[in-house]
Amino acid sequence: MIDNIDLTLVGWSRAQFALTAIYHWLFVPLTLGLSFILAIMETIYFRTGKEEWKMITRFWMTLFGINFAIGIATGIILEFEFGANWSNYSWFVGDIFGAPLAVEGILAFFLESTFVAVMFFGWNKVSRKFHLISTWLVAIGASLSALWILVANAWMQNPVGMAFNPETARNEMVSFWAVLFNQVAVDKFLHTISSGFLLASMFVLSISSWFLLKKREALLAKNSILVAGIFGLMSSLMVAYTGDQSARTVSRVQPVKFAAMEALFEGKSNAGLTAFGILKNSDKMIGEKNQKEFVVKIEIPGLLSVLTAGDRDAYVPGLVDHISGNAKIGIMSVQEKMQRGGVARNTLTDYLNAKKLNVTEQIENIKNVFISKDFQENYFKYFGYSSIKNPEEVIPSVPTSFYSFHLMVILGFLFIIIFVLAINQLFQGTIEKDRWFLWIAFLSLPLPILASELGWILTEVGRQPWIIQNLMPVSGGVSNISSGSVITTFILFAVLFTVLLISEISIMVKQIKTGPKH
């Protein structure tokens, strides 16, 4: 662990990673969703033999290709940053974190990249059946890539299936299956891919609506809306369901994040779920951190208790409980966790010192204590708290967490309404006449992108100050490099990513205006 921390370096390293992740996630969900929409459209072409569906598939495939290429570029840079800017983190957990990333590169990415060439260039070179299989394999490969990356991220949120080896001072994987089927990973994967499906469906719906507004490509637009509307509605319902499941899991494994999401400072029984609220500063304090109160709040009584524990009278702990402790419901104070984490750190230091002096008996005695189940569960579990200076540090940004979560939820319900309207207007035969709806659908294009980014902001900001929940704070994971070099690369990446984004939008707009090849 690092004792003398350059906070400027930490801040800029976080900013650079956030910049790269945010730009990368502008492209990934569209790739995930469009790949399946393409597979569905080509399946319809394969089953019906109608050339119009081939034309439709190839049009959306062109837009998919533009997005796919740029998404790869940002993704590669993102993975390199773990070694460049977060080498202490990578060293501490590389045996675990690296495994799913390696599987993603070896299996999923190569599956996806191999068949994407057939998908784009094989229309008249391979059989229709093999081409269809290739398109489906690209879609499956994209989701598998997402799976392994999300497994790695979920482990950071809820570290499982590992043991700490005092010999190397590293965490090592003991159960690959525990890491893979980590409940956070399952929830995160299902929620993320379904949100990608939703985003791509809205992308197709919005552009198709633009064609109808311009009185162009009516056949392509209506057929595309049919696929996007049904697929989007199913996906939006899946997003709502998986989001609820994910929130329940967070309430168990990251309860401080959950309390921040709900801006719940004082724990309570019969806790209400905040449907809408605007925070304000108040004079109440948790240590040195200002609490927030609501200027306005719409609350559903008792629902938060029901959602988290299935019981309206269940007690939902707030931030005060998590900071100060609550013996009645078995919550340990942060101060106690800091003390236990200090014991774990001092025991590790004693072991490493004994090894340097080669005191055999002391080495064995300390090692036996360290690897014992009691020590692991009651002390090493809080290892990261030894680097926390005061209890209030473990509170993430409440406004950021609260607004990100609730705005994402509001948008999620809006998407369900839009897809229901799209299907209704299409089957009623009024979609071309209802220009008000076409404008709503067209202007809604940025909203699922915003919702998707808000989800990741909540995920990452909500677990602060941890880079690995309870085991390593963000400040302990940075590389020992100059902050100047990080600032320089931050500026370079910001310029590069902005140029790439502008280029993608320009190329896509040009391609959309050109329309499909008949």
CB of 394 closer than 8 Å to CB of 320 = no
181-185 long-range contacts (CB < 8 A, ≥24 apart) are 182/151, 182/154, 182/155, 182/158, 183/158, 183/249, 183/253, 184/154, 184/157, 184/158, 184/246, 184/249, 184/250, 184/253, 185/150, 185/151, 185/154, 185/155
> 462 in a domain, yes or no?
no
Do 98 and 46 sit in the same domain of this protein?
A: yes
Interval 102-118 mean pLDDT: 76
If pLDDT is split at 50, 70 and 90, which confidence band does 1 have?
A: very low
State how far the Cα of 190 lies from the Cα of 276, in Å rounded to an integer: 26
The residue among 419, 489, 484, 363 whose CA lies nearest residue 81 is 489
Q: Is the pLDDT of residue 278 over 80?
A: yes
Distance CA 227, CA 229 (A): 6
pLDDT computed for residue 337 by the predictor: 94
Residues 77, 122, single domain; the answer is: yes
Mean pLDDT of the chain: 87
Task: Please say if the pLDDT value at position 188 is more than 50.
Answer: yes
Tokens representing residue 408 in the block: 């994402």
Q: Is position 481 within any domain?
A: yes
How many helices (DSSP H) and strands (DSSP E) are in the chain?
Answer: 18, 8
For residues 276 and 365, state if they share a domain: no
Q: Kindly report, residue by residue over 362-414, the tens digit of the pLDDT.
A: 888 888 888 888 888 889 889 999 989 888 889 999 899 999 999 999 999 99
Q: Establish if 61 belongs to a structural domain.
A: yes
Q: Give the Cα separation of 319 and 258 in Å (integer).
A: 9
Where residue 4 falls among pLDDT bands split at 50, 70, 90? low
pLDDT in tens, 449-481: 999 999 999 999 988 899 888 888 888 888 888
**DSSP designation for 475:** G
Query: Alpha-carbon distance 135 to 300, whole Å?
Result: 45
Residue 423 CA to residue 445 CA, distance in Å, equals 17
**Does one domain contain both 47 and 78?**
yes
Is 304 in the same domain as 354?
Answer: no
Q: Is 50 inside a domain boundary? A: yes
Q: How many CA atoms lie within 13 A of 53 on its CB side?
A: 18
Question: Is 178 within the bounds of a domain?
Answer: no
- Would 403 be classed as within a structural domain? no
Assess whether 137 and 282 both reside in one domain. no
For residue 287, what pLDDT band results from cuts at 50, 70 and 90? low
Joined together, the tokens standing for residue 39 give: 């597979």
Q: What is the pLDDT of residues 294-327, one digit of tens each?
A: 888 888 888 888 888 878 888 989 899 999 888 8
The token pair that represents 274 in the structure block: 């905040």
The last residue of a domain, from among 356, 377, 392:
392
Residues 381 and 309 in one domain: no
3 and 151 both lie in a single domain: yes
Look at residue 225 and tell me if it is in a domain: no
183: tokens are 């409940």
Residue 102's CB is within 10 A of a number of other CB atoms, namely: 12
Indicate if the pLDDT at residue 420 is higher than 50.
yes
Residue 489: its pLDDT value, please?
86
Question: Read out DSSP for 244-311?
Answer: HHHHHHHHHH-HHHHHHHTT--S-EESPPEEEEEEEEEEEEEETTEEEEEEEEEEEETTHHHHHHHS-
Residue that the structure tokens 């304000």 belong to = 280
Same domain for 121 and 8, yes or no, is: yes
Q: Are residues 8 and 142 located together in one domain of the fold?
A: yes
Structural domain count, the chain = 3
Q: Which residues contact 309 (CB under 8 A, 6 or more apart)?
A: 316
Task: Report d(CA 495, CA 479) in Å as an integer.
Answer: 23
Rounded Cα distance between 505 and 20, Å, is 18
Q: Which of 85-99, 219-233, 267-281 has the highest mean pLDDT?
A: 219-233
CB 261 within 8 A of CB 462: yes
- Residue 171's contacts (CB-CB under 8 Å, 6 or more residues apart) are 92, 93, 95, 96, 159, 162, 163, 164, 165, 471
Span 132-150, pLDDT tens digits = 999 999 999 888 888 888 8
Same domain, 31 and 105: yes
Boundary of a domain, candidates 296, 326, 356: 326
* Last residue within a domain, chosen from 273, 300, 326: 326
Query: Residues 9, 88: one domain?
Result: yes
Residue 246 in tokens: 């994910």
Helix axis angle for 398-428 and 446-461, nearest 10°, is 150
Residues spanned by the domain of 140: 1-157+477-507
Identify the DSSP state of 105.
I
Domain assignment present for 454 = no
